[in-house]
Homo-oligomer: A and B are copies of this chain.
Amino acid sequence: MTMTNEKMRFWSPEVRELEPYVPGEQPKIQNLLKLNTNENPYPPSPKVAQALEKQLSNQADLLRLYPDPDASVLKEAIAKQQHVTADHVFVGNGSDEVLAHIFKAFFQQEEPVLYSDITYSFYPVYSQFFKTKTKIVPLNEQFEIDIKDYQQPNGGIIITNPNAPTSIALPLTEIEKLLCDHPDRVVVIDEAYVDFGAESAVALVDRYENLVVCQTTSKSRSLAGLRVGYAIAQPHLIAALETVKNSFNSYPIDRLAIAAAVASFEDQPYFEEHCQKVIVSREQLITDLKALGFNVLSSKANFIFTSHQIEKANVLAEKLREQGVIVRYFNKPRIDNFLRITIGTDIENKRLVQSLEKILH
Protein backbone atom coordinates (compact mmCIF):
# COMPACT_ATOMS: atom_id res chain seq x y z
CA MET A 1 0.00 0.00 0.00
CA THR A 2 1.20 3.48 -0.85
CA MET A 3 -1.28 4.95 1.61
CA THR A 4 0.06 6.77 4.64
CA ASN A 5 -0.33 5.18 8.05
CA GLU A 6 -2.39 8.16 9.13
CA LYS A 7 -5.06 7.29 6.58
CA MET A 8 -4.90 3.59 7.42
CA ARG A 9 -5.68 4.16 11.09
CA PHE A 10 -9.33 3.24 10.48
CA TRP A 11 -8.46 -0.13 8.94
CA SER A 12 -8.54 -3.39 10.85
CA PRO A 13 -4.86 -3.92 11.80
CA GLU A 14 -4.58 -7.22 9.95
CA VAL A 15 -6.04 -5.73 6.77
CA ARG A 16 -3.14 -3.27 6.65
CA GLU A 17 -0.87 -6.29 6.10
CA LEU A 18 -2.87 -7.98 3.32
CA GLU A 19 -1.27 -8.35 -0.10
CA PRO A 20 -4.21 -8.80 -2.46
CA TYR A 21 -4.32 -10.97 -5.56
CA VAL A 22 -3.52 -9.16 -8.80
CA PRO A 23 -5.72 -10.44 -11.64
CA GLY A 24 -4.39 -10.47 -15.21
CA GLU A 25 -5.15 -7.14 -16.76
CA GLN A 26 -8.37 -6.55 -18.70
CA PRO A 27 -7.26 -3.82 -21.09
CA LYS A 28 -9.95 -1.71 -22.70
CA ILE A 29 -8.11 -1.45 -26.02
CA GLN A 30 -9.54 -2.55 -29.38
CA ASN A 31 -7.88 -5.10 -31.63
CA LEU A 32 -5.62 -6.41 -28.94
CA LEU A 33 -4.81 -10.12 -28.98
CA LYS A 34 -5.50 -11.04 -25.36
CA LEU A 35 -3.69 -14.25 -24.44
CA ASN A 36 -3.09 -13.36 -20.79
CA THR A 37 -6.04 -14.60 -18.68
CA ASN A 38 -6.80 -18.06 -20.09
CA GLU A 39 -10.20 -17.17 -21.46
CA ASN A 40 -11.73 -19.39 -24.13
CA PRO A 41 -11.33 -18.06 -27.68
CA TYR A 42 -14.80 -19.36 -28.59
CA PRO A 43 -18.11 -17.89 -27.46
CA PRO A 44 -20.36 -19.85 -25.09
CA SER A 45 -22.91 -22.27 -26.54
CA PRO A 46 -25.60 -20.42 -28.54
CA LYS A 47 -28.08 -22.00 -26.12
CA VAL A 48 -26.70 -19.66 -23.44
CA ALA A 49 -27.76 -16.55 -25.35
CA GLN A 50 -31.11 -18.20 -26.11
CA ALA A 51 -31.71 -18.94 -22.43
CA LEU A 52 -30.84 -15.36 -21.51
CA GLU A 53 -33.11 -13.96 -24.25
CA LYS A 54 -35.91 -16.10 -22.88
CA GLN A 55 -35.34 -14.79 -19.36
CA LEU A 56 -35.54 -11.25 -20.66
CA SER A 57 -38.55 -11.63 -22.91
CA ASN A 58 -40.69 -13.65 -20.49
CA GLN A 59 -39.37 -12.74 -17.13
CA ALA A 60 -37.46 -9.45 -16.98
CA ASP A 61 -39.87 -8.44 -14.21
CA LEU A 62 -38.50 -11.28 -12.12
CA LEU A 63 -35.22 -9.40 -11.75
CA ARG A 64 -36.98 -7.61 -8.89
CA LEU A 65 -36.98 -10.89 -6.91
CA TYR A 66 -34.02 -12.48 -5.16
CA PRO A 67 -32.59 -15.53 -6.90
CA ASP A 68 -32.92 -18.95 -5.31
CA PRO A 69 -30.18 -18.77 -2.64
CA ASP A 70 -29.44 -22.46 -3.26
CA ALA A 71 -29.44 -22.17 -7.06
CA SER A 72 -31.04 -25.63 -7.08
CA VAL A 73 -31.72 -25.78 -10.83
CA LEU A 74 -28.07 -25.06 -11.46
CA LYS A 75 -26.95 -27.71 -8.97
CA GLU A 76 -29.24 -30.19 -10.76
CA ALA A 77 -27.79 -29.32 -14.16
CA ILE A 78 -24.19 -29.65 -12.92
CA ALA A 79 -25.01 -32.89 -11.11
CA LYS A 80 -26.51 -34.41 -14.26
CA GLN A 81 -23.51 -33.48 -16.41
CA GLN A 82 -21.05 -34.73 -13.77
CA HIS A 83 -22.94 -37.96 -13.01
CA VAL A 84 -23.46 -37.22 -9.32
CA THR A 85 -26.52 -36.21 -7.32
CA ALA A 86 -27.30 -32.54 -6.57
CA ASP A 87 -26.39 -32.94 -2.88
CA HIS A 88 -22.80 -33.44 -4.09
CA VAL A 89 -22.69 -29.94 -5.65
CA PHE A 90 -21.79 -26.55 -4.21
CA VAL A 91 -21.94 -23.39 -6.36
CA GLY A 92 -20.32 -20.00 -5.93
CA ASN A 93 -19.52 -16.66 -7.55
CA GLY A 94 -16.68 -18.00 -9.72
CA SER A 95 -14.31 -20.68 -8.52
CA ASP A 96 -12.36 -17.94 -6.71
CA GLU A 97 -15.23 -17.56 -4.25
CA VAL A 98 -15.57 -21.35 -4.00
CA LEU A 99 -11.85 -21.62 -3.21
CA ALA A 100 -12.10 -18.87 -0.59
CA HIS A 101 -14.90 -20.80 1.11
CA ILE A 102 -12.83 -23.99 0.88
CA PHE A 103 -9.94 -22.35 2.76
CA LYS A 104 -12.31 -21.24 5.52
CA ALA A 105 -14.31 -24.48 5.65
CA PHE A 106 -11.45 -26.99 5.75
CA PHE A 107 -8.00 -25.48 6.13
CA GLN A 108 -8.16 -23.58 9.42
CA GLN A 109 -6.48 -26.40 11.32
CA GLU A 110 -3.70 -26.93 13.82
CA GLU A 111 -1.45 -28.25 11.06
CA PRO A 112 -0.58 -26.37 7.86
CA VAL A 113 -2.32 -26.68 4.51
CA LEU A 114 0.14 -27.82 1.85
CA TYR A 115 0.43 -26.45 -1.67
CA SER A 116 3.11 -25.92 -4.32
CA ASP A 117 5.51 -23.03 -4.61
CA ILE A 118 4.40 -22.63 -8.22
CA THR A 119 0.63 -22.78 -8.43
CA TYR A 120 -2.42 -20.54 -8.47
CA SER A 121 -1.23 -17.30 -6.90
CA PHE A 122 -4.54 -16.74 -5.08
CA TYR A 123 -3.80 -19.57 -2.58
CA PRO A 124 -1.25 -17.58 -0.53
CA VAL A 125 -3.72 -14.67 -0.54
CA TYR A 126 -6.46 -16.87 0.95
CA SER A 127 -3.96 -18.20 3.49
CA GLN A 128 -3.21 -14.68 4.62
CA PHE A 129 -6.86 -13.57 4.52
CA PHE A 130 -8.05 -16.46 6.72
CA LYS A 131 -4.81 -16.70 8.71
CA THR A 132 -4.46 -20.32 7.60
CA LYS A 133 -1.25 -22.09 8.62
CA THR A 134 0.53 -22.93 5.39
CA LYS A 135 3.53 -24.90 4.23
CA ILE A 136 4.87 -24.61 0.69
CA VAL A 137 5.91 -27.85 -1.04
CA PRO A 138 8.21 -27.04 -3.98
CA LEU A 139 7.59 -28.64 -7.36
CA ASN A 140 10.41 -30.91 -8.48
CA GLU A 141 13.09 -29.83 -10.96
CA GLN A 142 10.81 -30.69 -13.90
CA PHE A 143 8.08 -28.45 -12.44
CA GLU A 144 6.05 -31.53 -11.55
CA ILE A 145 4.14 -32.36 -8.38
CA ASP A 146 5.71 -35.33 -6.61
CA ILE A 147 3.10 -36.65 -4.19
CA LYS A 148 5.81 -38.22 -2.01
CA ASP A 149 6.73 -34.66 -1.01
CA TYR A 150 3.29 -34.35 0.60
CA GLN A 151 3.97 -37.20 3.05
CA GLN A 152 4.20 -34.95 6.09
CA PRO A 153 1.84 -33.71 8.80
CA ASN A 154 -0.76 -31.39 7.32
CA GLY A 155 -4.17 -29.81 7.83
CA GLY A 156 -5.22 -30.33 4.22
CA ILE A 157 -3.80 -30.28 0.71
CA ILE A 158 -4.73 -28.28 -2.37
CA ILE A 159 -3.44 -29.09 -5.83
CA THR A 160 -4.25 -27.40 -9.12
CA ASN A 161 -4.63 -30.06 -11.81
CA PRO A 162 -3.52 -29.38 -14.48
CA ASN A 163 -1.29 -27.06 -12.51
CA ALA A 164 -1.18 -23.35 -13.33
CA PRO A 165 0.87 -21.74 -14.64
CA THR A 166 2.88 -24.86 -15.51
CA SER A 167 0.04 -26.61 -17.47
CA ILE A 168 1.33 -30.04 -16.36
CA ALA A 169 -1.28 -32.62 -15.27
CA LEU A 170 -1.02 -35.15 -12.46
CA PRO A 171 -2.42 -38.59 -13.39
CA LEU A 172 -5.53 -39.78 -11.55
CA THR A 173 -3.59 -42.72 -10.09
CA GLU A 174 -1.32 -40.25 -8.28
CA ILE A 175 -4.29 -38.29 -6.95
CA GLU A 176 -5.79 -41.52 -5.68
CA LYS A 177 -2.56 -42.32 -3.84
CA LEU A 178 -2.64 -38.85 -2.28
CA LEU A 179 -6.21 -39.42 -1.08
CA CYS A 180 -5.17 -42.74 0.48
CA ASP A 181 -2.08 -41.22 2.09
CA HIS A 182 -4.20 -38.60 3.93
CA PRO A 183 -7.52 -40.22 4.84
CA ASP A 184 -8.16 -37.74 7.68
CA ARG A 185 -7.40 -34.60 5.70
CA VAL A 186 -9.35 -32.84 3.00
CA VAL A 187 -7.60 -33.01 -0.37
CA VAL A 188 -8.81 -30.36 -2.82
CA ILE A 189 -8.20 -30.78 -6.54
CA ASP A 190 -8.66 -27.44 -8.29
CA GLU A 191 -9.62 -28.44 -11.83
CA ALA A 192 -10.10 -25.05 -13.48
CA TYR A 193 -8.38 -26.39 -16.62
CA VAL A 194 -9.21 -30.10 -16.48
CA ASP A 195 -11.48 -30.18 -19.53
CA PHE A 196 -8.61 -29.60 -21.94
CA GLY A 197 -7.20 -33.11 -21.70
CA ALA A 198 -6.54 -34.05 -18.06
CA GLU A 199 -8.37 -36.69 -15.99
CA SER A 200 -10.99 -35.35 -13.59
CA ALA A 201 -11.06 -36.56 -9.99
CA VAL A 202 -14.86 -36.26 -9.95
CA ALA A 203 -14.82 -39.99 -10.80
CA LEU A 204 -13.32 -40.59 -7.32
CA VAL A 205 -15.76 -38.51 -5.27
CA ASP A 206 -18.02 -41.40 -4.34
CA ARG A 207 -15.11 -43.44 -3.04
CA TYR A 208 -13.20 -40.81 -1.09
CA GLU A 209 -14.91 -38.97 1.73
CA ASN A 210 -11.94 -36.56 1.95
CA LEU A 211 -12.00 -35.33 -1.68
CA VAL A 212 -13.23 -31.94 -2.92
CA VAL A 213 -13.04 -31.18 -6.64
CA CYS A 214 -13.36 -27.55 -7.72
CA GLN A 215 -14.27 -26.53 -11.27
CA THR A 216 -15.34 -23.40 -13.13
CA THR A 217 -17.46 -22.33 -16.10
CA SER A 218 -14.92 -19.58 -16.89
CA LYS A 219 -12.56 -21.57 -19.08
CA SER A 220 -14.01 -24.62 -20.86
CA ARG A 221 -17.55 -23.19 -20.90
CA SER A 222 -16.59 -19.67 -22.04
CA LEU A 223 -18.52 -18.02 -19.22
CA ALA A 224 -15.79 -16.01 -17.45
CA GLY A 225 -18.05 -12.97 -17.83
CA LEU A 226 -20.76 -14.54 -15.66
CA ARG A 227 -18.93 -15.81 -12.54
CA VAL A 228 -20.05 -19.36 -11.83
CA GLY A 229 -17.76 -21.88 -10.13
CA TYR A 230 -18.60 -25.09 -8.30
CA ALA A 231 -17.30 -27.89 -6.11
CA ILE A 232 -18.14 -31.58 -6.18
CA ALA A 233 -17.77 -33.64 -2.99
CA GLN A 234 -19.65 -35.91 -0.63
CA PRO A 235 -22.59 -34.20 1.16
CA HIS A 236 -20.84 -33.92 4.54
CA LEU A 237 -18.18 -31.71 2.90
CA ILE A 238 -20.72 -29.77 0.83
CA ALA A 239 -22.48 -28.99 4.13
CA ALA A 240 -19.34 -27.27 5.43
CA LEU A 241 -19.18 -25.10 2.31
CA GLU A 242 -22.89 -24.21 2.62
CA THR A 243 -22.34 -23.22 6.26
CA VAL A 244 -19.51 -20.90 5.29
CA LYS A 245 -21.36 -19.46 2.29
CA ASN A 246 -24.48 -18.73 4.34
CA SER A 247 -22.33 -16.97 6.92
CA PHE A 248 -20.93 -14.66 4.25
CA ASN A 249 -23.41 -14.00 1.41
CA SER A 250 -26.64 -15.93 0.87
CA TYR A 251 -27.29 -15.13 -2.79
CA PRO A 252 -23.96 -15.13 -4.64
CA ILE A 253 -25.25 -16.20 -8.07
CA ASP A 254 -27.75 -14.01 -9.87
CA ARG A 255 -30.79 -15.06 -11.88
CA LEU A 256 -29.20 -14.52 -15.29
CA ALA A 257 -25.96 -16.29 -14.38
CA ILE A 258 -27.98 -19.28 -13.14
CA ALA A 259 -30.00 -19.44 -16.38
CA ALA A 260 -26.91 -19.09 -18.56
CA ALA A 261 -24.88 -21.72 -16.71
CA VAL A 262 -27.78 -24.20 -16.80
CA ALA A 263 -28.01 -23.79 -20.59
CA SER A 264 -24.28 -24.38 -20.89
CA PHE A 265 -24.37 -27.61 -18.87
CA GLU A 266 -27.24 -28.83 -20.99
CA ASP A 267 -25.27 -28.47 -24.23
CA GLN A 268 -22.70 -31.23 -23.88
CA PRO A 269 -21.94 -31.60 -27.63
CA TYR A 270 -20.95 -27.92 -27.99
CA PHE A 271 -18.80 -28.19 -24.88
CA GLU A 272 -16.95 -31.28 -26.08
CA GLU A 273 -16.46 -29.97 -29.61
CA HIS A 274 -14.94 -26.69 -28.47
CA CYS A 275 -12.67 -28.22 -25.83
CA GLN A 276 -11.38 -30.50 -28.59
CA LYS A 277 -10.77 -27.52 -30.88
CA VAL A 278 -8.64 -25.84 -28.23
CA ILE A 279 -6.66 -29.05 -27.70
CA VAL A 280 -5.93 -29.40 -31.44
CA SER A 281 -4.89 -25.73 -31.69
CA ARG A 282 -2.66 -26.13 -28.65
CA GLU A 283 -0.73 -29.00 -30.19
CA GLN A 284 -0.22 -27.03 -33.42
CA LEU A 285 0.95 -23.97 -31.45
CA ILE A 286 3.42 -26.08 -29.47
CA THR A 287 4.88 -27.45 -32.72
CA ASP A 288 5.20 -23.94 -34.16
CA LEU A 289 6.81 -22.53 -31.02
CA LYS A 290 9.32 -25.37 -30.78
CA ALA A 291 10.34 -24.58 -34.34
CA LEU A 292 11.12 -21.04 -33.14
CA GLY A 293 13.41 -22.28 -30.36
CA PHE A 294 10.93 -22.40 -27.49
CA ASN A 295 10.86 -25.05 -24.79
CA VAL A 296 7.24 -25.82 -23.97
CA LEU A 297 6.13 -27.80 -20.93
CA SER A 298 3.74 -30.67 -21.64
CA SER A 299 0.29 -29.06 -21.47
CA LYS A 300 -3.13 -30.44 -20.61
CA ALA A 301 -4.60 -26.96 -20.21
CA ASN A 302 -5.88 -24.16 -22.45
CA PHE A 303 -2.54 -22.44 -22.08
CA ILE A 304 1.12 -23.28 -22.40
CA PHE A 305 4.10 -22.43 -20.23
CA THR A 306 7.17 -21.74 -22.26
CA SER A 307 10.67 -20.28 -22.24
CA HIS A 308 12.88 -19.40 -25.18
CA GLN A 309 16.36 -20.84 -25.59
CA ILE A 310 17.88 -17.39 -26.11
CA GLU A 311 15.54 -14.44 -25.61
CA LYS A 312 14.44 -13.52 -22.07
CA ALA A 313 10.77 -13.94 -21.22
CA ASN A 314 10.25 -10.41 -19.91
CA VAL A 315 11.77 -8.97 -23.09
CA LEU A 316 9.53 -11.15 -25.24
CA ALA A 317 6.45 -10.14 -23.24
CA GLU A 318 7.30 -6.47 -23.69
CA LYS A 319 7.95 -6.81 -27.43
CA LEU A 320 4.74 -8.79 -27.93
CA ARG A 321 2.82 -6.05 -26.20
CA GLU A 322 4.28 -3.52 -28.64
CA GLN A 323 2.71 -5.64 -31.36
CA GLY A 324 -0.65 -5.73 -29.59
CA VAL A 325 -0.30 -9.23 -28.16
CA ILE A 326 -0.64 -9.61 -24.38
CA VAL A 327 0.66 -12.72 -22.60
CA ARG A 328 1.22 -13.32 -18.87
CA TYR A 329 4.64 -12.89 -17.32
CA PHE A 330 5.24 -13.67 -13.62
CA ASN A 331 8.26 -11.98 -12.08
CA LYS A 332 8.73 -14.72 -9.51
CA PRO A 333 11.51 -17.11 -8.46
CA ARG A 334 12.01 -20.21 -10.68
CA ILE A 335 9.55 -19.02 -13.37
CA ASP A 336 10.86 -15.57 -14.24
CA ASN A 337 12.08 -16.77 -17.62
CA PHE A 338 8.70 -18.26 -18.63
CA LEU A 339 5.63 -16.93 -20.40
CA ARG A 340 2.14 -18.25 -19.85
CA ILE A 341 0.27 -18.03 -23.13
CA THR A 342 -3.45 -18.73 -23.53
CA ILE A 343 -4.47 -20.86 -26.53
CA GLY A 344 -6.40 -18.73 -29.03
CA THR A 345 -8.14 -19.68 -32.26
CA ASP A 346 -5.85 -20.96 -35.01
CA ILE A 347 -5.87 -17.50 -36.59
CA GLU A 348 -4.94 -15.85 -33.29
CA ASN A 349 -2.19 -18.39 -32.62
CA LYS A 350 -0.81 -17.71 -36.09
CA ARG A 351 -0.72 -13.98 -35.31
CA LEU A 352 1.18 -14.79 -32.12
CA VAL A 353 3.68 -16.97 -33.98
CA GLN A 354 4.17 -14.34 -36.67
CA SER A 355 4.77 -11.68 -34.03
CA LEU A 356 7.34 -13.90 -32.34
CA GLU A 357 9.03 -14.60 -35.68
CA LYS A 358 9.39 -10.84 -36.22
CA ILE A 359 10.80 -10.37 -32.73
CA LEU A 360 13.25 -13.25 -32.93
CA HIS A 361 14.62 -12.73 -36.43
Contact call B56/A52, Cβ cutoff below 8 A: yes
Given A12-B107, A48-B60, A248-B97: A69 and B240 interface contact (C-beta under 8 Å): no
CA A128 – CA B244 in complex, angstroms?
11
Contact call B260/A63, Cβ cutoff below 8 A: yes
A96 part of interface (Cβ distance < 8 Å): yes
Chain A positions within 8 Å of B, measured between CB atoms, are: 1, 3, 7-15, 18-23, 26, 28, 34, 37, 39-44, 48-49, 52-53, 56, 60-69, 93-94, 96-97, 100, 104-109, 125-126, 128-129, 184-186, 209-210, 218, 222-227, 236-237, 239-240, 242-257, 260
Chain B residues with CB under 8 A of A21: 246-247, 250
Copies in the complex: 2
Chain B residues with CB under 8 A of A239: 1, 3, 7
Contact call B243/A18, Cβ cutoff below 8 A: yes
- Closest-CB distance, A218 to chain B (whole angstroms): 7
Q: Sample 12 A-B pairs with CB under 8 A, ordered by A number.
A: A10-B184, A11-B243, A12-B107, A12-B108, A23-B69, A26-B68, A37-B66, A62-B225, A67-B227, A94-B251, A97-B252, A227-B251
Chain B residues with CB under 8 A of A240: 8, 10-12, 15
Contact call B43/A64, Cβ cutoff below 8 A: yes
